[in-house]
Structure 1
Amino acid sequence: MAQKLIDGVRVKQLKVIPDERGRLMEMLRRDDEVFLEFGQTYLTTMYPGVTKAWHYHKLQHDNFVCVRGMIKLVLFDERDGSPTRGTVNEFFLGDHNAQLVVIPPNVWHGFKNIGETESLIVNIVTKPYDYQSPDEYRLPAHENHIPYDWARKDG
């Protein structure tokens, strides 16, 4: 059953083109329907079992792609007036699901490495990082008001 996406969240299925030399995967193009603007690109990594959460931005959109490993990306909409206020979205990204997820401003998000190797995540943001006045607001991963438990769900 497909989950109802938080208002403003976009998902792009990525095309992986393999050959005898390796593979190619386009992540984001300026002529993509989901493209807004370019600020900068960065790479973040996580060791197995690590959770990096929670944060949001007031100005920038994030465009997350996990290029190695597997992560669970979780979003929470706490925006006043949002038609999806209170909604939680889960995405499983990486080696077994090549997707780009666009996260709009003011949506809490975090991710957990659910694989057995270091995960590599590329983020293509719409605003460059401002070292003097960072557009980043944080909560602890596990002790907070967000209705989400990072524990594995066996079902």
Structure 2
Amino acid sequence: MIDGVLTKQLRVIPDERGRLMEILRCDDECYNRFGQVYMTTNYPGVVKAWHFHKIQTDNVCCLSGMIKVALYDAREGSPTRGEIAEFFIGEHNPMLVTIPPGVYHGWKCISGHESIVVSVPTEAYNYQEPDEYRLPPDTSEIPYEWVLKPGIRHG
């Protein structure tokens, strides 16, 4: 596991009215502070990557569909520098992934329908000076490919 990355298995509580799922609580180990809450979507096969933050910690949860979250530790002095981590999260594996500053991250929608992701970063987005540092999904600086693993086929 990449140093500072935390995961929390989420519990869905169904009843005759519907479902409830707590995502992030102020008494969770992974809770630091609140900046804002936003949702984003991905169409099937779309990759949103790579970026990292110098200040903010991200808390990411996929509510609908499935995404493959990939992380790369590029932090100087980190005991896990150079490590890659993958998480498959969404409606078939409800999980919160907490991503500390300095860790590149992104995700790919791996379901057959649009994914809906909720993010709870520790900082509000600063429109004048965004705390966001980007690389393209196919960068040679990160040893990762967004393709299916060998031996796995579509459909």
Q: Deviations over 1:35-88 (max 9, x none)?
A: 100000000100000000000000000000000000000000011100000100
2:45 maps to 49
1:70 maps to 66
Code of the residue aligned with 1:93 in structure 2: it is I
2:121 maps to 125
1:116 maps to 112
1:11 Cα deviation after fit: 0.4
Structure 1 length normalisation: TM-score? 0.95
Q: How many residues align?
A: 151
Instruction: State how far apart, in whole Å, the 1-side matches of 2:28 and 2:67 are.
Output: 24
Unaligned 5+ segments in structure 2 are none
**Structure 2 residue 23 is the aligned partner of structure 1 residue 27:** yes
Structure 2 length normalisation: TM-score? 0.95
Instruction: State how far apart, in whole Å, the 2-side matches of 1:115 and 1:37 are.
Output: 31
Instruction: State how far apart, in whole Å, the 2-side matches of 1:151 and 1:30 are.
Output: 36
Instruction: State how far apart, in whole Å, the 1-side matches of 2:101 and 2:56 are.
Output: 6
Unaligned 5+ segments in structure 1 are none
Instruction: State how far apart, in whole Å, the 1-side matches of 2:140 and 2:51 are.
Output: 12
1:10 maps to 6
Instruction: State how far apart, in whole Å, the 2-side matches of 1:129 and 1:150 are.
Output: 27
Q: Secondary structure of the equivalent of 2:137?
A: coil
**Structure 2 residue 75 is the aligned partner of structure 1 residue 40:** no
**Structure 2 residue 90 is the aligned partner of structure 1 residue 90:** no
1:34 Cα deviation after fit: 1.3
**Structure 2 residue 136 is the aligned partner of structure 1 residue 140:** yes
Instruction: State how far apart, in whole Å, the 2-side matches of 1:117 and 1:100 are.
Output: 20
**Identity fraction in percent:** 60
Instruction: State how far apart, in whole Å, the 2-side matches of 1:68 and 1:22 are.
Output: 15
